[in-house]
Structure 1
Amino acid sequence: MAVSTRTKRGARPLIVTLIVIVVIAALGFAYASPYIALNNLKRAADARDAQTVNQYVDFPALRESLKQQVAGLLTRRLGSHGNGNPLAAIGAMIGVALIGPLVDAYATPDGVAALLNGMPPRGEPGEQPPAPPAASNPPAANVRSVPAPASPGAGNNAGNRANNSATSPQPPQPPQPPQTTAGYRGLNEFAVTYQHGVGDARYSAIFLREGLFTWKLAAVNLNE
């Protein structure tokens, strides 16, 4: 009986320790869960994996948010350029007609990929999210190149080409990725903010909690 009592007493600290470890691990995972959701969603959106994207996006809520944000974007644009302009009402009607197609275009895996890569909608007529990058051609590993016979003046021609390439204009550099910050805005809200440069407009992609560990992209804010 005494041995059994000592065994039970010795097991209690172990059980308490295990419970504490489980609680700490659960809290750590709960804190990291929106970062994990963001990473998984971005990878799936870039790959246009619609099935996985659907798991991390509340599309009805995102559509409603896009509709409100694009309408506000167009209203601000007309307000800044339409004072005293009799065509402002016509512009407003055209802007309203643009909202539906633009929302339909961005409430898609392509649109989600654009939002998470610093390319939000700007309310332009016929605007579409960028298409996925084309797959690169496989390298021709088994193809050999046979050098052409040298011709008279080949050295001079090569020198001229080198000089021309040195003085020819360089291709434009690709746009730099936006500055990105992510963090909690409340217990149940997590935001990713994008900005291309100091003084440029910012916008945010907003994730909302569903349950303890599940987060979904549910809104955008185009006027941070």
Structure 2
Amino acid sequence: MAVPKHIKGGATRPLVVTLIVILVIAALGFAYASPYIALNNLKRAADARDVQTVNQYVDFPALRESLKQQVTGLLTRRLDAHSNGNPLAAIGAMIGVALIGPLVDAYATPDGVAALLNGMPPRGDPGERPPAPPAANPPPDAGAPSPAPAAPAAPATANAGNDNATPAQPPQTTAGYRGLNEFVVTYQHGAGDARYSAIFQREGVFTWKLAAVNLNE
């Protein structure tokens, strides 16, 4: 016996509503998580110096303008702090102001983005540049003779008093929304240390780009 059409429609309607609700919840969840995904993708790309992917997640004109303002403010505060003290320090700060352009150019790059996302912001020092990526180890030559065995490593206690031997600790990182269209990642190396933040701006619904920094968080 055939099932009436109105019964078929009534049976499928709850299923359609359920699917719509599931899709809406999934879209909202993805929208909420999208800046965290963008941050993760950008950090991986920057660490790998994947320029094409970095360009997808960074608004370089906006970041360049933000770096210029932030570094200018950083050096201005430094100049004010030393204006009544050591004149040589004030001269050094003024020299730093003259070098803002090259510093901004150096940090508005994939190397600079990698430094920002790894707890190494610009300090406003003359000639400062972000750290270069680690050199890749060349593949071993199959025809080359095997290297001689390395000498035994010195005991760990030999360098116990050398502070430079202590590896740098990763910064403490917090991330979260500061509004519907702004997502902020804050970095701090330890209690009492200066903090700074990387600021992502929303573009569209699911797209986020690194667009600014705050060096006086």
The alignment of Structure 1 onto Structure 2 pairs a total of residues equal to 211
Q: For 2:121 and 2:43, how far apart are their aligned partners in 1?
A: 14
Q: For 1:190 and 1:67, how far apart are their aligned partners in 2?
A: 21
Q: Once the 2 structures are TM-superposed, how far is the Cα of residue 134 of structure 1 from its aligned partner?
A: 1.3
Q: What corresponds to 2:172 in structure 1?
A: 179
Q: What corresponds to 2:52 in structure 1?
A: 51
Alpha carbons of 1:136 and 1:36: their partners in 2 closer, same or farther (altered >3 Å)?
same
**Are 1:122 and 2:112 counterparts?**
no
Alpha carbons of 1:139 and 1:95: their partners in 2 closer, same or farther (altered >3 Å)?
same
Greater shift after overlay, 50-59 or 89-98? Answer: 89-98
Residue type at the aligned position of 2:199:
I
Q: What corresponds to 2:158 in structure 1?
A: 168
Q: What corresponds to 2:98 in structure 1?
A: 97
Structure 1 unaligned blocks of 5 or more: 148-157
- Using the size of structure 1 for normalisation, the TM-score is 0.85
Mapping 1:40-119, distance limit 5 Å? 40-83=41-84, 90-91=91-92, 93-119=94-120
Mapping 1:184-223, distance limit 5 Å? 184-223=177-216
Identical positions, percent: 80
Structure 2 unaligned blocks of 5 or more: none
Q: For 1:54 and 1:166, how far apart are their aligned partners in 2?
A: 43
Q: For 1:189 and 1:166, how far apart are their aligned partners in 2?
A: 46
**Are 1:20 and 2:21 counterparts?**
yes
CA deviations over 1:12-46 (Å, ceiling 9, x no partner): 10010010000000000000000000000000000
- Using the size of structure 2 for normalisation, the TM-score is 0.88
Residue type at the aligned position of 1:98:
L
**Are 1:3 and 2:4 counterparts?**
yes
Q: Once the 2 structures are TM-superposed, how far is the Cα of residue 168 of structure 1 from its aligned partner?
A: 3.0
Q: Secondary structure at the match of 1:192?
A: strand
Alpha carbons of 1:111 and 1:167: their partners in 2 closer, same or farther (altered >3 Å)?
closer
Q: For 1:144 and 1:93, how far apart are their aligned partners in 2?
A: 54
CA deviations over 1:172-192 (Å, ceiling 9, x no partner): 021000001111011000000
Q: Once the 2 structures are TM-superposed, how far is the Cα of residue 81 of structure 1 from its aligned partner?
A: 1.1
Q: For 1:65 and 1:4, how far apart are their aligned partners in 2?
A: 63
CA deviations over 1:105-132 (Å, ceiling 9, x no partner): 0000000000000000000000000000
Residue type at the aligned position of 2:184:
A
Q: Once the 2 structures are TM-superposed, how far is the Cα of residue 2 of structure 1 from its aligned partner?
A: 6.3
Q: Once the 2 structures are TM-superposed, how far is the Cα of residue 167 of structure 1 from its aligned partner?
A: 5.9
- Where in structure 1 do 4 or more consecutive aligned residues deviate above 4 Å? 84-93, 137-147, 164-167
Alpha carbons of 1:167 and 1:59: their partners in 2 closer, same or farther (altered >3 Å)?
closer
